[in-house]
Amino acid sequence: MWAPSEPIPRINTASGARGWRNRHGRYRLVGTVCGACEAVHFPARRICPSCRSADLAEKPLSRTGKVVCAAEDHSPLVGHGGRPVRPFAIIELDNGPSVLAELVDVRTVTPGQRVELVIRKWRRESNGLYEYGYKFRELP
Amino acid sequence: MTGLISAGVAVPATRIALADILRAWRNVPEQVVRRLGVGGRAVPGPDVDTITLAAEAAQRALTSRVDAVFLGTQTNPYATRSAAAIVADMLGLSPHVFVTDLQCADKSGTAALLSAIAWVSSGLGERALAIGADTLALHAAPGDPFEYTAGAGAAAFVVGAEDGAATVVRAASAATDTPDRYRLDGERHIRGTGSAMTATGVGLEQHVKLAFGRLGVAAEEVGHLAVSQPDAATPARIAKVLGVPGESTGAGLVADRIGDAGSASALLSLARVLDRAGSGDTVVLLSYGAGASSDAVLMRATGNAIGSGTDRELDRAISVDYPTAVRYERRYAGHERLTGTYE
C-alpha cells in the first residue's frame, strides 16, 4: 500500500488508546451535561468542574454555531505543511459551550459568520494511525 | 419497492484550472486538454482524504437510522482497515450495523449502491447507506495526462423500502478482463496500459453497452443518463454509443467543474439528476470501472427532489495554483522522518 510522505510525529500526540477513547468528542462534539447544575462541558468531563458532581451524561453538541473571534496560525504544525496559514476561531455552538477550532475552505473570516462542523484529518498519531476530528466551514 | 430516500455529496472546495497544469507541464497539446471539457478539477487539501469526504457526504445524506453502510472506494488510505467502520463511528451510528468496503475500480460507488439495494430488497434491513468516495488526484503521477482530470469527491445515498425520490426498477452489469488502468499494491500512481487500451475506449464502450443492453429499456425513453465521468466529454460520447438522446446527459454533468471523481463520479451525477428530475422521468445510472466492469440501474423518478445540494457543493470553489496543488497533494515524496509537533 502506498504511504503518503506524511511525517509521523514522535512526541506530543495522544496515544492510540487515548485517541480511541475520545473519538466521539473529535467526530461529533460529544460533551457532557451535568445532572446537578446543568452545566455543559466540552471536552467531556468525569467530574463537573462547577459543582463537583459525578452525575454526568454524554451529549452531542450542536454541529453549527457562529464565529466569536478569529485568528491566523502561521506555525508549521505537523500534518499541515501544505497549508502555511490556518485560520482558527472561537466558535459559539448553537446549544452549548464555545470551542476553539480550525476553519477550512474560507477566504475571510468575520465575527458572526455561521459555520458548520466537518470532519477532517488532524494529524498522524505516534502509532501511525490517522487522527480525524472536527473543523468548521462556512455555512452558505 | 426499493427507492433512494435521500442523498448528500462532498467535493473539495479547492480547485485548480486545467490551464495552470498545462502551463506547468506543456506535455499535451492545448486543444487536446480543451477537448476534455473540464475547466478545473478538485484538489483535496492536506487534511482531506477518502474517509473525510465519505463522512461529509454521508452526514448530509443521513436523515434517518440506517442498518448498513456500504462504502465503495479504490483509494482507501488504509490497506486493511475498513473505512466504512470508521465512517459509521463518525456518523454516530449504533454499533449494531453491518459495514463493508467495496473495491471495484471506478465503479466501486455503484457497486456499493447495488449492494445497498440488494440488502434492502432482500429484507436484511430497512435502510442502508451507500457511499462512493475517491481521491484520484493523490494517485495521478506528476506529468501523466491523467493528472489533468484526476479529481476527488464523494456521494452518499440512503436506500430504503419505499419509493423516495427514485424507485429502482431493474439493474444489470457486465465485467470482463480488459486491463486499461491499474495500480499495484505498494504503488502510489494509477497507470494506463497504453493508448490502444485507453484512448480507443475499448473497455468503456463495450462494457456500458453490455450493461445498458440488459436493462430492457428503449434508448429513446431515457430521460436522464447519470454516468461515470473520467472527463466532461465522456457522457456525450456514451450517449452516442448507446443511442440515447444527447440532452439526457445535461442534468448529470459534474466533471466539467471537478474532473474525475472516480467511484463518486456516477453517484454525484445521479444526485444532481435527482435534484431536478420530474415525476415519472426515466433515470439510468451507468458506471464504468477500469479493468473492466460496468453497472447499470434503471430508476423511475417520483418527482420528490432528493435535496442533495450538489450544485451548492460544486459552486463552493476556491481557486489554487499549481504549486499549492503540489503541496496539498504531496506530489513530491519527502524523506521518511519522525518529527515533533512542528514540521
Rg from Cα positions in chain A:
16
Q: Are residues B132 and B27 in the same domain?
A: yes
Predicted local distance difference test score (pLDDT) of residue B224? 97
Which residues are CB-contacts of B31 (< 8 A; sequence separation ≥ 6)?
A: none
Range with the lowest mean pLDDT among B177-181, B192-196, B251-255, B276-280? B192-196
Mutation pick from B138, B184, B337, B343 vs chain A, by most beta carbons of A within 10 Å, is B343
Q: Give a yes or no: residue B342 inside a domain.
A: no
Buried b (16+ CB within 10 A) or exposed e, B241-278: ebebbeebbebbbbbbbbbbbbbbbbbbbbbbbbbbbe
Q: What average pLDDT score do residues B74-83 get?
A: 94
Q: Give a yes or no: residue A128 inside a domain.
A: yes
Range with the lowest mean pLDDT among A20-29, A122-131, B25-34, B261-270? A122-131
Q: Which residues pair with A59 in a beta bridge?
A: A31
Q: Are residues B14 and B144 in the same domain?
A: yes
- Percent of chain B beyond pLDDT 90? 89
Q: Are residues B193 and B296 in the same domain?
A: yes
Q: Are residues B184 and B125 in the same domain?
A: no
Predicted local distance difference test score (pLDDT) of residue B227? 97
Range of the domain at A33: 16-138
Distance from C-alpha of B238 to C-alpha of B21, rounded to nearest angstrom: 27
Strand B40-42 versus strand B14-17 pairing type: antiparallel
Predicted local distance difference test score (pLDDT) of residue A127? 76
Q: Are residues B187 and B276 in the same domain?
A: yes
Q: Are residues B19 and B135 in the same domain?
A: yes
Provide the residue-wise pLDDT of chain A in tens; the chain has 140 residues.
455 556 666 555 567 788 888 999 999 999 999 999 999 999 999 999 999 999 999 999 999 999 999 999 888 776 666 787 889 999 999 987 899 999 999 888 899 999 999 999 988 777 778 889 999 999 97
Predicted local distance difference test score (pLDDT) of residue A124? 79
Q: What is the pLDDT of residues B139-167, one digit of tens each?
A: 999 999 999 999 999 999 999 999 999 99
* Domain at B107, CATH number: 3.40.47.10
Q: How many domains does chain A have?
A: 1
Q: Give a yes or no: residue A71 inside a domain.
A: yes
Q: Are residues B324 and B210 in the same domain?
A: no
Q: Are residues B153 and B287 in the same domain?
A: no
Q: How many domains does chain B have?
A: 2
Strand locations in chain A, DSSP E? 8-9, 30-34, 40-41, 56-60, 64-73, 86-93, 98-102, 114-124, 130-138
Q: Give a yes or no: residue B334 inside a domain.
A: no
Q: Give a yes or no: residue B43 inside a domain.
A: yes
Q: Give a yes or no: residue B38 inside a domain.
A: yes
Output A11 or B330, whichever has higher pLDDT: B330
The 10 Å Cβ neighbour count of residue B219 is 16
Residue B133 has pLDDT above 70, yes or no: yes
Question: Measuring CA to CA, which residue among B198, B84, B63, B185 is closest to residue B133?
Answer: B84
Q: Give a yes or no: residue B335 inside a domain.
A: no
Q: Give a yes or no: residue A1 inside a domain.
A: no
Distance from C-alpha of B104 to C-alpha of B32, rounded to nearest angstrom: 29
Looking from the CA of B11 toward its CB, the CA atoms found within 13 Å total 34
Q: Are residues B37 and B134 in the same domain?
A: yes
Residue B192 has pLDDT above 50, yes or no: yes
Task: Using CB atoms, pick whichever of A10, A60, A81 lies closest to residue B338.
Answer: A10
Residue B131 has pLDDT above 90, yes or no: yes
H or E element: which one contains B237?
helix B234-242
Q: Give a yes or no: residue A4 inside a domain.
A: no
Task: Using CB atoms, pick whichever of A2, A27, A77 lies closest to residue B90.
Answer: A27
Q: How far is B219 from chain A (nearest CA, A)?
A: 39
Rg from Cα positions in chain B:
19
- Percent of chain B beyond pLDDT 70? 97
Range of the domain at B48: 3-165+307-328
Show residues of chain B in contact with A119, CB under 8 Å. 52, 55-56, 59, 90
With CB atoms and an 8 Å threshold, state whether A81 touches B340: no
Q: Give a yes or no: residue B62 inside a domain.
A: yes
Q: Are residues B210 and B132 in the same domain?
A: no
Q: Give a yes or no: residue B341 inside a domain.
A: no
Show residues of chain A in contact with B142, CB under 8 Å. none
Predicted local distance difference test score (pLDDT) of residue B236? 96
Q: Are residues B13 and B98 in the same domain?
A: yes
Q: Give a yes or no: residue B200 inside a domain.
A: yes
Distance from C-alpha of B12 to C-alpha of B56, rounded to nearest angstrom: 10
Q: Are residues B110 and B45 in the same domain?
A: yes
Q: Give a yes or no: residue A10 inside a domain.
A: no
Contact A93, A65 (CB under 8 A): yes
CA A71 to chain centre: 16
Predicted local distance difference test score (pLDDT) of residue A1? 41
Question: Measuring CA to CA, which residue among A90, A121, A92, A86 is closest to residue A104?
Answer: A86
Across all residues in chain B, what is the average pLDDT? Answer: 94
